[in-house]
Amino acid sequence: MSRRQFVRTAATALGAIGFPSVMPASVLGRGGAVPPSERITMGFIGVGGQGGGHLFGGAWTYVVGGFAGRPDVQVLAVCDVRRGRREDAVRRVNAHDAESRGPGSAGCQAYVDFRHVLDRADIDAVLIATPAHWHATMAVMAAAAGKDIYCEKPTAVTIQESQAVRDAVRRHGRVYQAGTQQRSEYGGKFRLACELVRSGRIGRLREIYCHRDGGAIAWPSRPAEAAIRPVPDDLDWELYLGPAPWIPFDGNAGAHRFDVGELNWGQHHYDIIQWAAEADQTGPVELFLEDGRSGYRYASGVTVYGRPHPEERVGGSGGACFVGTAGRIAVDRETLISTPASLAREPLRPDEVHLPRNHGHADNFLRCVRTRQRPICDAEVAHRSASALLLGGIVKQVGRPLRWDPLAERFPGDDEANRFLRLAKRAPWRT
Amino acid sequence: MTFLSWVVPFGRGAGSPRLQGRTALIRGVWFAGVVGLAGMRAAEVPAVVWDDEEERLLDVLAAGGGVAAREAACVRLQRIGSERVIPALAALLSDPSLAHAARAALESMPVPAAGKALVAALRTSSGDARLGLLASLAVRREPEAAPLLAELWAELKPGLAREGGAVSPEVVATAAAVFQTLGELEHPVVVPLLEEAWGTVPASLRPRVADALLQQAQRRAQDGRKSEAQRLFVRVRDGATVRAHRAAAIEGWIRTSPPAEALAFWEGAIAGPAGPELDAALRTTAELTAPQTGRVLRARLPVLAPERQVAVLDAWLRRAEWPDRKDVLGLLASPDEEVRRGAVAALGRVGEAGDVERLLALAATAGPEQKAARQALVDLRARRVSARLIDALQASSAEVRVESARALGERGERSAARHLLAMAEAAEPAVRVAVLRALSLVVEPRQLDELVRLAQQAPDEGRRGEAVRALTLACERLQLTADDPALRRWRQEVMAGPTTWRVALLAVAGVLPGDAAAAVLRSALEEADPAVRRAAVRAAMRSPHEGLWSGLVKAAGADSDEEVREQATRAAVRLASREGTRVADRDRREMLRNLARGASSVAQKRTVLAALAGARGAEDLALILGWLDERELRLEAASAVVKVAPRVGDAERARQALAAVATVEGDDEWRRELAAAHKAVDARAGHVTSWLGTGHLRVTGRGVAELIEAKFGPETLSRELRTATGRARLGTWAPMSVGLEARNPMVLRSDAPAALGVAYACTWVQVPVAQPAQLEVGHEYGIRVWVNDREVFRANTAARLPPRSPATAPVELQAGWNLVLVKLAQPGKPALFALKITDRSGARIPDLVVNPEVDLE
């Protein structure tokens, strides 16, 4: 019996034994509200800046009002290694639920250990917004626990992790949405840019300029004795580190302390590049370095440079500049611009490429949770976008051109480079 | 030799023909970053020869020194270790403090011997070390581990048999890890073992076994061993307790079944009760390949429960062949809103011109299908759809006319432009607004004069505004510059037309690139008529032209009209503060100071305060403090002080500023912010944070190692740095930005495109008497430091900031002013460094004064 079925059955049984006859309209689904049995129940793992934005919305976030404000979602759990954050989040969720759904509906609980969230059979889906080194481990465990997953970028910090996420989601039949919302948001600018490129408006696509290049993860070395500090009472340092090698607390429990290069933002850019280059099921075949920045080539011959186009400023916030034989199109969250201007001036004709559209990235995820279809940035798409980013990180570490087999997902005959495909996790964590 | 002497990979770049120059540098920087060599004392790093590195690493492991050194050796061997290092690494697998590092190295090594070492260690391991080994064997997919795992499972079984009794958590965790690992391995013992366990393990472990069986089944399905896969899928389907596992097994079974069989199952499941069968059916709808699939979908869709209709319709549209229009039309009458919405959306994909009226009617009604109908009208791709929409512009219902105009606009139907222009003066406001909006999306450049005419002939200000908005949007869409021939009439009217027209048309200038637009706005800011000036500052609020600054600053301080002054203040602040501004930091500060000095109203001061809160200079702080006495601004000024003080280079002035705001009454949050600011200022005290910087000098074709050695002007002519004129001869020296992190206080931000290059920073420090002192240097990439022309520190490798264990160098300070010159070489990023001057014990030097702009002659 599913949770929703259970809630329905329980409500019927309670009614039969004389539950109070006055019930909020929302329980019965009137007044535009969604009855509890139809709400998707969610747990939020990581409620700092990004997770808090997803949960409650905010000026910078694209999730208006946050998941907590959606009538079709009930947040049952929040989890964070910092006490202040999780207590603040649970207080706000419960206050919101009490106010909007009635006093009896405030049932959110706070957890320090995400495994307790995954253990709850009444939770349908989790949103993971932790530091990047946790993303894949948590996603794989969530899939195994039968949860649907919305996970922030980067999808993973190594290629092996990214494969493990894809495989676990596929194996367990879960719905996975990567937090690369540019395919859904920003007024459809990115979609339109990809449609124009794929429709041949710029002629044959030859080059793509990406404002960010490759990224990787860096485990910390042990801090000097002088830098070691007592772990603050409100922080679970062990759970912050998780799969990272253990080090004493040195005052830095930041979201990006292990990031190297463009690990945090790069997947946004490469996700759009993959979309425009029709490479969602594949990846680069050659990688190279140019003035210290990574780049790559697809089998189609399209070259992707990890640097801005020399004459184009548009592209900095998540975008790219696509150069073809007949012109170029640059896009980011604020602007879509073409050279010559006429390329983007004409609307898409019926016979041109039309890519899927939706009513928002979060909405697309929740809809797929209901219909069991694949979201726009599902695990396969996310794996390939993350790979494009992480391969850039590898070529920077190896320091020479590399060949990549996107089918076998190996560097053919290159043991040195293949060592960078994975990074051992501290026990007991694994993907 | 210290452990640090081998970790830098430059040696290989220098000695190997494979890696030279820049490539070696990049590799070095990234290796250093990725293995986390923070705190490396670069001064101790000699050149090394790559071929010796493995030997040296083995020496480090054998020496039995500190954990950190041996851990770092393991990290490096993870990348370069050959087969000969395996015994040394294997020996560390039983050392609790090094087991992880050794295992990580072995896990990555692409030789069978590494796997054998991990398998061997499994026999004697326990606890987390054993769990780690199991994870590594899984990642390596080490088949040789399988027999040993079978033995391990046999050992664990008795401990698990006491269901309900006390079972050791370690046994449960190990058994779970064993199953997870078995799921990854391809070996004859694996599947029989898992199948045996499937029937015997306690309930808590069944999900782990299910997961492993699913992995084995998936692998077989991918390899084409479908019957084997199916058998395993069936076992999980029939025995799993977790719904997701059963659904996954059924999904796998469907995918590996003959198409007709899969379709027959799907047909039963989609109509059956909720459960894993239904979940699996929903997920595989788009993948069914039997030729009869379309017929079955067509037959089933109308009789399914509403939520399943929505899901199946959604999936059907992802298939190669879509539903027929009549399949969709049947759902439009559904009593379920969600089904109707889905059907309307689907009609946008499979509908025809004859559906336009139906969709317009739905779009024109504020019902649940309105949004979907509007989108469907945009999506419809059949022939004659646009013609039907154009016809609908003459409909008797105003709502229908609105929707047809909206659809034509969003479809970008250029042929509709003349029809829309004919309706642009319609009496109904909603129709007019929709038509003008549509026109902005479809007009061509040659039709812009018509929009100008509409603005001119508008009977009132509101309608003139509507026309100008359409013109503005059209200009943005068409990416026109102000001097485009298509805007000739606009230029004429905005420069010389009647005031009413000019006021309205000026708004367009705000969105147009090109110098002509800036010229229009500059000229309008000087006009005698305040209405024109107001319109100009409103337009400037959107303008990208940084050249408008001086005019805006002037208007902010001196215009006779209060609205102009306030809007001009906002526009100037926006121009200077927006992301991607090309305005140099120094100019921006100067502008803010001028605005602050000229601000007369509280609103203006608030605007400037908000911008100053992002500043970092002591002078900015002084400006803010000046407003503390104004009652309306007191809290905001105090808040700005708290934000700015931690970024100000002069710690003493920052402390004084914080002391000045301590009396401001605020809530607990404010107190916390104040305390945090004090802490941040204290943390950076002692760092030299006032510098002049120049660069970066873009150099191509040379690596950091070369650049750090090559001499450029500032280091060959350091005497020039004594005076402002001398410095000017050595290039443009500007105050450097100060970083945000307390321990990373200096950030040189160059406006130049990122590229390999060199930058210099200089400052002067004064002490009353000659004394021994010490530099603490944090850096990235290449750095050299001179004090009074004597080189005191050099490194040409990476050390990540903030410096957890900064490098130190002794220096002798002379009485009076001492020149500190820093050279930075970096591969294409803003250069980061931190420098602290202390006494030899690391304590602050109390009388030390820093002034980068001192003029010594």
B window 339-398, beta carbon within 8 A of A: 371, 375, 379, 381
The whole-number average pLDDT for the span B242-249 is 91
pLDDT category, B165, cuts 50, 70, 90?
Answer: low
A345/B477 touch (CB, cutoff 8 Å), yes or no: yes
B810 inside domain: yes
Q: What is the dihedral of CA A251, A256, A258, A264, to 10 degrees?
A: 180
| Torsion B485-B490-B491-B493 (CA) sign | positive
- In sequence order, what are the beta bridge partners of B687? B836
The chain-wide mean pLDDT, for chain B, equals 85
For residue A6, the model assigns a pLDDT of 37
Q: Is the pLDDT of residue B783 over 60?
A: yes
Residue A24 has pLDDT above 80, yes or no: no
CA–CA dist B335, A339 (Å, integer): 50
Confidence of residue B16 (pLDDT cuts 50, 70, 90): very low
Q: State yes or no: pLDDT of B854 exceeds 90.
A: no
In a domain, B660, yes or no: no
Does B390 fall in a domain?
no
Q: Does B304 touch chain A (CB under 8 A)?
A: no
Q: What is the mean pLDDT of residues B784-797?
A: 88
ipTM: 0.88
Predicted confidence at residue B153, as pLDDT, reads 95
What pLDDT does residue B8 have? Answer: 25
With cut-offs at 50, 70 and 90, classify the pLDDT of residue B747: low
Query: Which of A148, A280, A397, A421 should one mutate to test binding to chain B, selecting the residue with the greatest count of B CBs within 10 A?
Result: A397
Local confidence band at B85 (pLDDT 50, 70, 90 cut-offs) = very high
- Give contacts of A2 with chain B, Cβ < 8 Å: 243, 274-275
Name residue, tokens 């780690």: B132
Amino acid of residue A336: L
Percentage of residues of chain A with pLDDT beyond 70: 91
Using the Cβ of B131 and the Cβ atoms of chain A, whether some distance falls under 8 Å is answered with: yes
Judge whether residue B18 has pLDDT over 70.
no
Question: For B199-218, what is each residue's pLDDT tens digit?
Answer: 899 988 999 999 999 999 99
Tell whether B628 is covered by a domain.
no
Integer CA distances (angstroms), B648 to A264, B206, B607, B701, in order: 29, 60, 21, 37
Question: Which residue shows structure tokens 């059956």?
Answer: B272
Tokens of B262: 């899969």
From A39-53, B181-195, B832-846, the region with the lowest mean pLDDT: B832-846
Are A372 and A265 a contacting pair, CB within 8 Å? Answer: no
By the 10 Å C-beta count (0-12 exposed, 13-18 middle, 19+ buried), A414 is classed as: middle
Return the HEC string of B447-467: HHHHHHHHHHHCCCHHHHHHH
CA A163 – CA A336 distance, rounded (Å)? 33
Best mutation target among B209, B282, B479 (most A Cβ atoms within 10 Å) is B479
Determine the Cα–Cα distance for residues B588 and B212; give it in Å rounded to an integer.
62
Q: Does A407 touch chain B (CB under 8 A)?
A: no
CATH number, domain of B826, equals 2.60.120
Cα distance between residue B640 and residue B774, in whole Å: 34
- For residue B667, the model assigns a pLDDT of 81
**pLDDT-based confidence at B708, cuts 50/70/90?**
confident
Which of the residues B26, B80, B122 would you substitute to probe the A interface, choosing the one with the greatest number of A C-beta atoms within 10 Å? B26
Of B68, B104, B753, the CB nearest to A222: B68
Instruction: State whether B135 and A425 contact (CB < 8 Å).
Output: yes
- Is position B702 within any domain? yes
Task: Identify all chain B residues contacting A348, using CB atoms and an 8 Å cutoff.
Answer: 412
Look at the block and give the residue holding tokens 């000045």: B660
Domain boundaries, position B817: 692-850
Average pLDDT, integer, range B530-556: 91
| pLDDT at residue B836, rounded to an integer | 86
Please say if the pLDDT value at position B414 is more than 50: yes
pLDDT at B827: 65
- The rounded percent of chain B whose pLDDT value lies above 90 is 56
Best B10, B18, B29, B30 member to test A by mutation, with max A CBs in 10 Å, is B30
Pairs of CB atoms within 8 A across A/B: 215
Whose structure tokens read 């694996």? B190
Q: What is the pLDDT of residue B44?
A: 30
Confidence check: pLDDT of B5 > 60: no
pLDDT at B663 over 60: yes
3-class DSSP state of A355: coil
Domains and CATH numbers, chain A: 3-183 (3.40.50.720), 186-216+262-421 (3.30.360.10)
In order of B597, B607, B634, B665, B667, the CA distances from B631 in angstroms are: 18, 16, 5, 12, 17
Q: Cβ(A343)–Cβ(B408) under 8 Å?
A: no
CA dist., res. B305 & res. B312, Å (int): 10
Please indicate whether, in this complex, the C-beta atoms of B71 and A222 are within 8 angstroms of each other: yes
Which pLDDT score, from 0 to 100, does residue B37 have? 33
- With a cut of 70, say whether residue B581 has pLDDT above it: no
How far apart CA B46 and CA A324 sit, in angstroms, is 48
Percent of chain B having pLDDT more than 70?
A: 87
pLDDT above 90: residue B341: yes
pLDDT at A376: 97
**Helix, strand or coil, per DSSP, at residue A351:** coil
Highest mean pLDDT among B277-286, B654-663, B740-749: B277-286
pLDDT in tens, A373-382: 999 999 999 9
List, for residues B818-832, the tens digit of each pLDDT value. Answer: 999 998 887 666 667
Inter-chain CB proximity B805 and A220 less than 8 Å: no
For residue A33, the model assigns a pLDDT of: 53
- Looking at residue B31, its pLDDT comes to 40
How far B176 CA sits from the closest chain A CA (Å)?
Answer: 11
Number of structural domains chain B divides into = 1
Give the span between the Cα atoms of B635 and B710, in whole angstroms: 52
Are the beta carbons of B124 and A412 closer than 8 angstroms?
no
Using pLDDT thresholds of 50, 70 and 90, give the confidence band for residue B739: low
- pLDDT band for B9, please (50, 70, 90 cuts): very low
How far is residue B532's CA from residue B564's CA, in Å, rounded to a whole number?
10
Whether the per-residue pLDDT at B623 is higher than 60: the answer is yes
Please give the average per-residue pLDDT across A99-121, as a whole number. 92
